[in-house]
């Protein structure tokens, strides 16, 4: 079963699915609540506390020289600050994010537009579904050598890599969002005699927006990972090339500092889009996603 068949089937059944909450034993819910964990263990603070404990353990092992080849978190943080302040790491990061942004800005309207239209217009789905199913199964890393062959190792090749990395998560989630339009919203649009275009713009697109934001978050995360890969494969500039040079020089501190920086950028991007998703959920009267 393809992705589109799975999404289409789940969307068709969503309007007829009956909640099973009323069939649950009321005493079961009360007993489950009494055995639930304290609020701290269900919050993000618990995760950060565990992470801090792991870093402290790592630092302790580095002090007792448990493994001399592994740098301590404090030294990695010091290296990160020095490399950012000196520009050796800052400019490769800026260059990578600049090209990534160009690729994402190009991919967003294409992926969102095609995915939304495939979910709302049957003939477009029938036309594009085979091509999309085949193309999305091929990893972008396998296409990088082909792009290098035709476009060299310049900025255009990297932008195309970021575009291809971002377009399919955007397309899939936009399709899922377009297919998730509830029967109630459809009937409401018919009651107000909205035209087809007005229904798509005023009803279907806002309903699909949470899905689209999830797709944007996934697309940026995938593109950020590919930025490291393309820099290491092309081997001329960017954050990936910085990591490659550190690896070849056996400079573990620089290698880990760059890795931490990429992870931090990914976390910030994820947090921004989670905030947007929560804001839209609150505006629509729904509870924000805990993830």
Written as one string, the DSSP assignment of 111-172 is HHHHHHHHHH-HHHHHHHHHHHHHHHTS-HHHHHHHHHHHHTTSHHHHHHHHHHHHHHHHHH
Per-residue confidence (pLDDT) for residue 183, from 0 to 100: 84
Is residue 64 predicted with pLDDT exceeding 90?
A: no
**34: pLDDT confidence band, cut at 50, 70 and 90?**
very low
Contact 231, 241 (CB under 8 A): yes
pLDDT digits (tens, 9 = 90+) for 145-158: 899 999 988 899 99
Lowest mean pLDDT among 3-12, 15-24, 115-124: 15-24
Cα separation, 238 vs 93, in Å, equals 6
Per-residue confidence (pLDDT) for residue 283, from 0 to 100: 76
Cα separation, 122 vs 8, in Å, equals 11
Highest mean pLDDT out of 3-7, 41-45, 178-182: 178-182
**233: pLDDT confidence band, cut at 50, 70 and 90?**
confident
Is residue 288 predicted with pLDDT exceeding 70?
A: no
Per-residue confidence (pLDDT) for residue 135, from 0 to 100: 86
User: What number is the average pLDDT over the span 10-21?
Assistant: 49
Indicate the average pLDDT of the chain.
83
> In this structure, what token pair is assigned to residue 282?
């609150």
**27: pLDDT confidence band, cut at 50, 70 and 90?**
low
Q: Domain ranges in the chain?
A: 68-282
More confidently predicted of 202 and 12: 202
Is residue 101 predicted with pLDDT exceeding 60?
A: yes
Residue 83's alpha-carbon distances to 7, 72, 140, 228, 237, in angstroms, are 46, 16, 30, 17, 15
C-alpha Rg value of the chain to the nearest Å:
24
> In this structure, what token pair is assigned to residue 28?
């079961």
Cα separation, 245 vs 261, in Å, equals 16
Per-residue confidence (pLDDT) for residue 43, from 0 to 100: 74
pLDDT digits (tens, 9 = 90+) for 136-194: 888 888 889 899 999 988 899 999 999 999 999 999 999 999 998 888 888 888 888 88
More confidently predicted of 282 and 259: 259
Cα separation, 102 vs 121, in Å, equals 29
Cβ neighbours of 177 (radius 10 Å): 27
Q: What is the domain class of 68-282 according to CATH?
A: mainly alpha
pLDDT digits (tens, 9 = 90+) for 202-224: 889 888 998 999 999 999 999 99
**18: pLDDT confidence band, cut at 50, 70 and 90?**
very low
């Amino acid at each position: 079963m393809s992705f589109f068949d799975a999404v289409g089937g789940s969307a068709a059944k969503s309007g007829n699915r009956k909640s099973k909450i009323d069939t649950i034993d009321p005493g079961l819910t009360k007993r489950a609540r009494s055995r639930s964990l304290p609020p701290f263990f269900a919050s993000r603070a618990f995760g950060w506390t565990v992470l801090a404990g792991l870093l402290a353990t790592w630092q302790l092992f580095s002090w007792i020289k448990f493994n001399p080849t592994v740098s301590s978190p404090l030294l990695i943080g010091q290296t990160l600050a020095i490399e950012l302040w000196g520009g050796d790491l800052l400019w490769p990061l800026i260059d990578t994010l600049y090209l990534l942004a160009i690729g994402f800005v190009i991919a967003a309207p294409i992926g969102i537009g095609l995915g939304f239209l495939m979910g709302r217009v049957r003939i477009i789905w029938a036309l594009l579904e085979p091509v999309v199913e085949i193309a999305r199964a091929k990893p972008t890393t396998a296409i990088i050598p082909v792009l290098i062959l035709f476009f060299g190792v310049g900025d255009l090749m990297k932008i195309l890599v970021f575009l291809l990395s971002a377009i399919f998560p955007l397309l899939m989630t936009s399709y899922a969002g377009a297919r998730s339009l509830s029967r109630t919203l459809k009937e409401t649009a018919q009651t107000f005699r909205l035209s087809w275009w007005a229904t798509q713009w005023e009803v279907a697109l806002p309903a699909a927006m949470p899905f689209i934001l999830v797709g944007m978050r996934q697309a940026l995360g995938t593109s950020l990972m590919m930025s490291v890969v393309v820099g290491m494969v092309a081997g001329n500039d960017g954050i990936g090339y910085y990591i490659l040079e550190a690896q070849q020089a056996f400079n573990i501190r620089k290698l880990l500092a760059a890795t931490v920086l990429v992870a931090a950028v990914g976390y910030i991007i994820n947090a921004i889009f989670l905030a947007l998703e929560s804001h839209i959920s609150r505006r629509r009267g729904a509870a924000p996603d805990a993830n």
